[in-house]
């Protein structure tokens, strides 16, 4: 065994963030190793999106620290965090409606591991529909496009905000398979915000339950998967 110093992909300590003077998240600490996968669970309004937004730089920072691969990033603007390798797929997907699928992908292109051909290989449906406009595609295709566009920026850490929301079960299974592949085969570090706790716990190794802007649980996903009553208690408490 070697004990070379290992740097976490992401380390958050004592984070307090919100919007303007309003504080939403309080005393958030977490660490996520490279290639780790973290589920963020909790009811509507507890601050899941705000946590992802804070990692990306879209919220107001009040206190604490966020380090990405050992480097403090909480004072950096969004585009610099993206350049360092953080990719964000917002809950709103933010597809450009009057661009084609292919144009939506190419606007985000950066040299790296995800040329458009590899995105098409991960999501063959996007290849089939590459000439369709952003406003002509289904919700599942929009989600694939939003994920594909984030990958085109060649992230090492991918933040996914409710990617399965409102999608038909067959599309959910297909997206989950793609997310699994990104974690297991592509070596991405992933943070997955999800309403469906069971699905999220199945594809991640660590989980965080938020309640009213604070951490109610931090631990193994498997532990919550094996103990659904505990999970319900954690989510519903407060």
As measured in angstroms, the least distance from the Cβ of 127 to Mg ion is 30
The whole-angstrom separation of Cα 61 and Cα 32 is 20
Nearer to Mg ion, 49 or 104 (CB): 49
Restricting to residues 50-79, name those near ligand ADP by CB under 6 A. 50
Task: Give the interface segment with ligand ADP, choosing from 19-27, 73-81, 93-101, 184-192 (CB under 6 A).
Answer: 19-27
DSSP 8-state symbol, 83: H
* CB-based contact 234:217 (threshold 8 Å): yes
The whole-angstrom separation of Cα 61 and Cα 146 is 26
Q: How many degrees, rounded to 5, is the angle at CA 99 between CA 98 and CA 105?
A: 150
* CB-based contact 177:184 (threshold 8 Å): no
Kind of pairing between the strands at 37-41 and 189-193: parallel
Nearer to Mg ion, 49 or 206 (CB): 49
The whole-angstrom separation of Cα 153 and Cα 150 is 6
Nearer to ligand ADP, 49 or 178 (CB): 49
Task: Give the interface segment with Mg ion, choosing from 29-37, 47-55, 147-155, 177-185 (CB under 5 A).
Answer: 47-55
Residue 217 belongs to what H/E stretch?
A: strand 214-220
Using rule CB under 5 A, residue 59 touches Mg ion: no
DSSP 8-state symbol, 136: G
Number of residues that bind Mg ion (CB under 5 A): 2
Closest CA to 196 of 216, 214, 218, 175: 175
As measured in angstroms, the least distance from the Cβ of 210 to ligand ADP is 7
Choose which of 49, 189, 211, 221 interacts with Mg ion (CB under 5 A): 49
Any alpha helices (H) in 64-220, and if so which ranges?
78-84, 101-106, 116-122, 124-128, 139-152, 169-184, 197-203
Restricting to residues 32-51, name those near ligand ADP by CB under 6 A. 42, 44-50
As measured in angstroms, the least distance from the Cβ of 43 to ligand ADP is 7
Among ligand ADP, Mg ion, none, partner that 45 touches (CB below 5 to 8 angstroms by kind): ligand ADP
Tell me, residue by residue from 146 to 185, as one string, x for binding to ligand ADP by CB under 6 A and - for no binding.
Answer: ----------------------------------------
Task: Give the interface segment with ligand ADP, choosing from 17-25, 114-122, 138-146, 197-205 (CB under 6 A).
Answer: 17-25
Binding-site ranges for ligand ADP (CB under 6 A): 19, 22, 24, 42, 44-50
């Amino acid at each position: 065994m070697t004990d070379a110093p290992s740097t976490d992909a992401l380390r958050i300590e004592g984070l307090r963030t919100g919007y303007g003077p309003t504080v939403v998240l309080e005393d958030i600490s977490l660490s996520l190793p490279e290639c780790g996968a973290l589920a963020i669970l909790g009811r509507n309004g507890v601050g899941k999106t705000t946590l992802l937004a804070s990692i990306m730089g879209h919220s107001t920072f009040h206190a604490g620290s966020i380090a990405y691969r050992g480097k403090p990033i909480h004072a950096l603007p969004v585009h610099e965090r993206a350049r360092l390798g953080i990719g964000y797929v917002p809950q709103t997907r933010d597809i450009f409606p009057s661009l084609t699928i292919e144009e939506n992908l190419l606007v985000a292109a950066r040299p790296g591991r995800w040329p458009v051909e590899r995105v098409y290989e991960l999501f063959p449906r996007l290849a089939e529909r590459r000439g369709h406009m952003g406003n002509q595609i289904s919700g599942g295709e929009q989600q694939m496009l939003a994920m594909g566009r984030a990958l085109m920026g060649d992230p090492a850490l991918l933040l996914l905000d409710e990617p399965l929301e409102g999608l038909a079960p067959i599309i959910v299974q297909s997206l989950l398979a793609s997310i699994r592949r990104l974690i297991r085969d592509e070596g991405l570090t992933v943070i997955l915000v999800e309403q469906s706790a069971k699905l999220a716990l199945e594809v991640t190794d660590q989980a965080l339950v938020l309640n009213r802007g604070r951490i109610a649980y931090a631990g193994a996903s498997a532990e919550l998967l094996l103990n659904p009553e505990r999970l319900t208690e954690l989510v519903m408490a407060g």
